[in-house]
């Protein structure tokens, strides 16, 4: 149901130019949420982040293009904040895809030569409009931050911010927590103007207080941009640069970009992409580039990137931590072919054709088919205007949209024994529907091969995996999974093989975060009580999301002239106004 009084009030604020950036927030988080936000953890989200500092020019155009390149990492919300003359912030953010939130007019109004951008996919704990990023605090100095990942000690951080720092947190997002923890430490300097040393000190203190997975980009009004990565290096981020066409006097003469994946550098014409190290922070101003490793974890957890980035999330044309995602998926296809040979072909089963489940598994499926000398065919035609079902809210919605987005071609299935290849099997809902589609058009037998091992554990580091009881492999054998998804057989890649596929391309990575497969959480701080609480939060928020889907209108994204507090992050921020263009 539409709420016109609140809508018009928020829209009026959004159009008003606020000069005083130190206006206080109007409500405390404990009042707004009845204190419930201290009772259980809230969920982070898999996201794409970007920050750019130009020597001169209109940065919003490139941020907008960069977010489009990172759209696969988040299709639920998008936002950009830029910094213009006199340190004034300008922002546009809202729920929706990049193409929905931004248009030529509001991008043109994002003034400035440095800025931060963010895309987010929908998770059970972050569907509120207010949680579109980047986030902003006015004190101290004016800070904007965008975050990818999830912290696991949110309750302690919220309590500290409320009882000790007396800082207001306006949403349930742990991204806003990180921003306020950083701001709290930075405020302790008490200085009129700060330098890189002050920023490193505050970032180090924040890292020592925060447990979890995170990569962040941030911007300090009139100063510069920065990026940092959690001490375990779980989530990816890197930096790149290019020679500026318009270098300023006394500057280093380069434009700099931070991004979740290297493909952004390729798209925007940057080069020398370099991954930021675990526990490292990099600060870029128009004059200087300063970097420092602030926190180091003891072996073997010194560097543990998330292996699921290579399986599913990252684009195949990206290179993450020195590993080509494309090459890693080729290796997964080679190793999976060995499993198929061992578990099917050597036992007398026949496979007539290998068919990928679009899109992520194509590289591995093609490699598997070539290794086994079996024909490879594209048996499913995809409607590209339907979002990923894995990140689609609601089990019923996922099931319905499988057939909306995929169509099986009888020509490739009729009378054949088919091996379907997918990157992973999560809930099993999509797999079951796809297998049934293959049978409906005449497949004689349908086998399912997964590039990933069985997923039996919750993810607490920013991927919104379902609760354990919703995972098809939880407390089930491989044979039981096959029966559940109605496959003739299921072949899983082993965890050892998967790790070797990625590590073979960069032997310097000695350990990965494989927690969704083995239940080993490298950061610590994750016990049964935490997991149960997290699952309860997911269930509660899933119910809230379903209820909200029937009531939420679809107004336009708010584009405010200057960023002056939470009005553009208010609870009723619009989804998008894509029909007014």
The residues carrying an active-site annotation are 47
Would you state the structure tokens that stand for residue 187, as one six-digit string?
């405020």
Q: What is the DSSP letter of 72?
A: G
Distant-in-sequence contacts of 169-172, Cβ < 8 A, 24+ apart: 169/29, 169/37, 170/25, 170/27, 170/29, 170/32, 170/130, 170/566, 170/569, 171/128, 171/130, 171/131, 171/135, 171/569, 172/33, 172/37, 172/42, 172/125, 172/126, 172/128, 172/131
Task: Report residue 187 CA to chain centroid gap.
Answer: 29
Sheet holding 489-492, edge to edge: 353-356, 417-422, 445-450, 489-492
Look up residue 163 and give its DSSP letter. I
- Contact assessment for residue 355 and residue 379, using Cβ atoms and an 8 Å cutoff: yes
CA triple 70-73-76, angle to 5 deg: 105
Give the DSSP per-residue string, 201-252: HHHHHHHHH--EEEEEEEEETTTEEEEEE-TT--S--EEEEEE-SSPPTTS-
Query: Both ends of the chain: CA-CA distance in Å?
Result: 24
Query: How does strand 445-450 pair with strand 489-492?
Result: parallel
Our CA dihedral for 329, 330, 335, 340, rounded to 10 degrees, sits at 100
The Cα 31–Cα 240 span in angstroms is: 43
Those residues whose C-beta lies under 8 Å from the C-beta of residue 18, and which sit 6 or more positions away, are 562, 564, 565
Determine contact, residues 184/157, Cβ cutoff 8 Å: no
* Of residues 548, 551, 569, the one with CA closest to residue 560: 569
User: 421: which 2 tokens?
Assistant: 């290849």
Closest CA to 276 of 321, 308, 243: 321
Evaluated on CA atoms 121, 142, 227, 216, the torsion sign reads negative
Number of helices (H), then strands (E), in the chain = 19, 22
Which residues, including other chains, have CB under 8 Å from residue 529's CB and lie 6 or more apart?
Answer: none
Q: Which two tokens stand for residue 353?
A: 């054709």
Residue 242: beta bridge partners?
A: 255
């Amino acid at each position: 149901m539409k709420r016109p009084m609140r809508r018009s009030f928020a829209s009026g604020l959004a159009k008003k130019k606020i000069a005083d950036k130190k206006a206080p927030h109007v409500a405390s988080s404990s009042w707004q949420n009845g204190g419930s936000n201290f009772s259980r953890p809230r969920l982070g989200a898999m996201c794409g982040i970007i920050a750019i500092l130009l020597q001169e020019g209109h940065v919003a155009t490139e941020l907008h293009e960069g977010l489009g390149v990172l759209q696969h990492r988040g299709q639920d919300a998008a936002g950009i904040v830029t910094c213009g003359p006199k340190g004034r912030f300008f922002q546009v953010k809202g729920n929706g895809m990049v193409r929905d939130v931004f248009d030529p007019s509001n991008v043109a109004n994002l003034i400035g030569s440095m800025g931060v951008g963010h895309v987010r996919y929908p998770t059970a704990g972050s569907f509120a409009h207010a949680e579109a990023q980047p986030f902003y605090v006015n004190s101290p100095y004016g800070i904007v931050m965008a975050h990818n990942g999830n912290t696991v000690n949110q309750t302690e951080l919220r309590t500290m911010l409320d009882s000790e720092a007396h800082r207001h947190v306006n949403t349930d997002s742990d991204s806003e927590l990180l921003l306020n923890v950083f701001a709290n430490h930075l405020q302790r300097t008490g200085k009129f103007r700060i330098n890189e040393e002050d920023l490193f000190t505050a970032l180090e203190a924040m890292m020592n207080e925060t447990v979890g997975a995170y990569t962040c980009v941030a911007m300090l009004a009139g100063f510069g941009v920065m990026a940092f990565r959690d001490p375990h290096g779980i989530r990816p981020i890197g930096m790149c640069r290019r020679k500026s066409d318009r270098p300023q006097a006394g500057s280093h003469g380069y434009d700099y970009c931070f991004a979740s994946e290297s493909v952004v550098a390729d798209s925007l014409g940057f080069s020398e992409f370099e991954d930021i190290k675990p526990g490292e922070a990099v600060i870029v101003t128009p004059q200087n580039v300063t970097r420092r490793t602030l926190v180091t974890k003891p072996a073997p957890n010194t560097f543990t990137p998330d292996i699921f980035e290579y399986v599913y999330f990252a684009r195949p044309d990206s290179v993450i931590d020195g590993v080509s995602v494309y090459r890693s998926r080729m290796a997964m296809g080679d190793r999976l072919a060995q499993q198929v040979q061992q578990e099917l072909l050597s036992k007398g089963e026949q496979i007539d054709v290998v068919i990928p489940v679009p899109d992520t598994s194509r590289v591995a499926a093609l490699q598997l088919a070539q290794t086994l000398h079996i024909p490879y065919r594209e048996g499913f035609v995809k409607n590209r205007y339907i979002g990923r079902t894995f990140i689609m809210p609601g089990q019923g919605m996922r099931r319905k949209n499988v057939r909306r987005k995929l169509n099986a071609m009888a020509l490739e299935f009729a009378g054949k024994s088919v091996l379907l290849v997918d990157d992973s099997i999560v809930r099993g809902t999509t797999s079951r529907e796809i297998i049934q589609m293959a049978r409906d058009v005449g497949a004689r037998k349908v086998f399912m091969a997964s590039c990933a091992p069985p997923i039996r554990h919750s993810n607490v580091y920013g991927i919104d995996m379902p609760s354990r009881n919703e995972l098809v492999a939880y407390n089930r054998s491989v044979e039981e999974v096959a029966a559940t998804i109605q496959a003739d057989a299921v072949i899983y890649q082993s965890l050892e093989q998967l790790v070797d596929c990625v590590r073979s391309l960069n032997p310097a990575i000695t350990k990965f975060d494989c927690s969704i497969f083995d239940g080993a959480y490298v950061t610590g701080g994750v016990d049964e009580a935490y997991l149960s609480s997290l699952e309860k939060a997911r269930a509660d928020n899933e119910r809230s999301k379903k209820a909200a889907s029937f009531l939420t209108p679809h107004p336009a994204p708010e584009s405010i002239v200057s960023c002056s507090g939470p009005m553009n992050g208010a609870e009723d921020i619009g989804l998008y106004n894509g029909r007014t263009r």
